[in-house]
Structure formats: structure tokens, C-alpha cells
Amino acid sequence: MSLLNTITRLRSGLIVPPIELIYTPHPVPHPYLPSTLSVLDSSFNPPTLAHLALANHTQSPSPKLLLLSIRNADKQLKSGDATYVQRIEMMIALAKEIEGGAAVGIIDEPTFVGKSKMLLEKFPGCRLTFLLGYDTLERFFDRKYYPGDMYTSLRKFFEDDGSKVLCAKRSPGSYPSSSNPDLSSALEIFPVTMVDIGEDVWALSSSEVRDAVKSGNQKWKRMVPPLVAEYIEKEGLYRE
């Protein structure tokens, strides 16, 4: 089945829970019931060396899952963006460069609380660790993404589900500080592990890669994993 058909089936509600594994680094038993799982959830537009460093961090438990939501809470596809199919193919390229490999999956759910719930439906009893960049952490603790009480939802995530959050520091010496009062207050209540992914990659962003490709600045090739760079060139991505 093509990737596009899989996305269509997921959106139509034919897959319950709405999660589909697209790629695994080796055959997995059915049912596949890992005891722990690190989930790197991002828009992957494109994957960068920061994604790779976070996935490879020693505090990221194995096995690992690269997860793409096809229904994002606040990011709509724009002209010049990679399509979902192209992002999935870049995620597979990234997965092949992760130490020990990683699975690739897609989900039809925009929120982390919802993703935790659905992943536990698919992998009951699993201990989930979500791997986040700092910008994503700020959205995670922003009450505008919670239709009800944010703290009730977060207690479900951290306490009932037992899910954890591991976040890459914005700079090697930083600790979360933000103008967002929700983030500051939530970090006093809920545990978040901050990790240093390296001074050479912590500031890399997908938007910077896209801008460099569009402007013809070849520095972008030093900002993404080699297999991802090959794919971007082959597909002619981000040139417009």
C-alpha cells in the first residue's frame, strides 16, 4: 500500500487507534508490545542534526519511534513545504542514521495528551518518553492547546499514563525560562528532564534549513543528516 493511501485510511477512521507504523528497522512480532518507547514527535520539515542528536542521546530509552501527526494543532502545510509523503520518506532516512535504528509512524491526533493515550492503546503497558525541542516544550505547556483545564490534562499525561518528557536545552547552559507563564508554573509541578544535545547542533532549526536551501546557501548540507540531504537534493525540496 502506498504512503498516500495509508494517510487517507488513517484520516478516514479506518485505522483504530489512528496510528500506523510505516517503517521498522527490523521485523517486529505481532502484537508488538515494547516495555519502553522513546517518541520523537516533530513536523520533520526537514529532519535536522538536532533531531538526530536528541534521538541518539544516552537518556533516550530504546526502542525509538519517529512520529508525524497528519493533523497538527497549529501548523498547516504551506506552499513550498514538503508533503506528508516526503516528510515520511525523510523520517525513514533519519531513522536509518539513528544508533540502533528507529521505527517511523504516523498518527491522526494533534495533541501530546491525545498521542500518549492513543500510543498506550496500541502499546498497552508501555512507558513512553516524549523527546521534544524547546519550542515544542513551550507549546506543550501552553493552555491554548487544551480545550478544558490544562492541569487536569497534564496530570492524565504524567500521572495516569506515566508518560515522561525529555527536552533538548536551547543552549548548553540554559534552563527553561520563558515569557509564557504557563510554562514557568507547569515546570514547578510536572517533571521535565532537560538534556544537552551538543553546542554544534542545539540551535539548528528546520526553518533555517529551508531558508538556506531557498537562498542557495550550501551550509544547509551541514545541518541535516547525509541521507536527508541526499533526499532533499533528489526531490528538489524547499527551492521555492
pLDDT in tens, 101-143: 999 999 999 999 999 999 999 999 999 999 999 889 988 999 8
Name the stretches of the chain with pLDDT < 50.
none
* CA–CA dist 117, 108 (Å, integer): 12
Decide: residue 109, CB within 10 A, 0-12 exposed, 13-18 middle, 19+ buried. buried
CATH number for 3-235 (one of 3.30.70.960, 3.40.50.620, 3.10.450.50, 3.40.50.10540): it is 3.40.50.620
Question: How far, in Å, are 113, 114, 121, 142 from residue 153 at the CA level?
Answer: 7, 9, 17, 12
Q: Which of 22, 117, 130, 138 is nearest to 70 (CA)?
A: 22
Model's pTM, two decimal places? 0.93
Q: What is the pLDDT of residue 99?
A: 94
Q: Domain residues of the chain, as ranges?
A: 3-235
Amino acid in the structure at residue 99: E
Q: Are strands 36-41 and 64-69 parallel, antiparallel or unpaired?
A: parallel
Query: What grid cell was written down for 59?
Result: 537518556
To the nearest whole number, what is the mean pLDDT of the chain? 91
Instruction: Supply the pLDDT for residue 64.
Output: 96
What are the φ and ψ backbone dihedral angles of 35, each rounded to 5 degrees?
Answer: -85, -30
Tell me how far apart the alpha carbons of residues 87 and 231 are, in angstroms, rounded to a whole number: 10
Q: Can you give the pLDDT at residue 115?
A: 97
| CA angle (16 as vertex; 120, 107 as ends), nearest 5 | 70
| Contacts of residue 37, Cβ cutoff 8 Å, sequence gap at least 6 | 61, 63, 64, 65, 119, 123, 126, 127, 128, 129
End-to-end CA distance of the chain: 30
Strands (DSSP E) found in 15-173: 19-23, 36-41, 64-69, 103-107, 127-132, 164-168
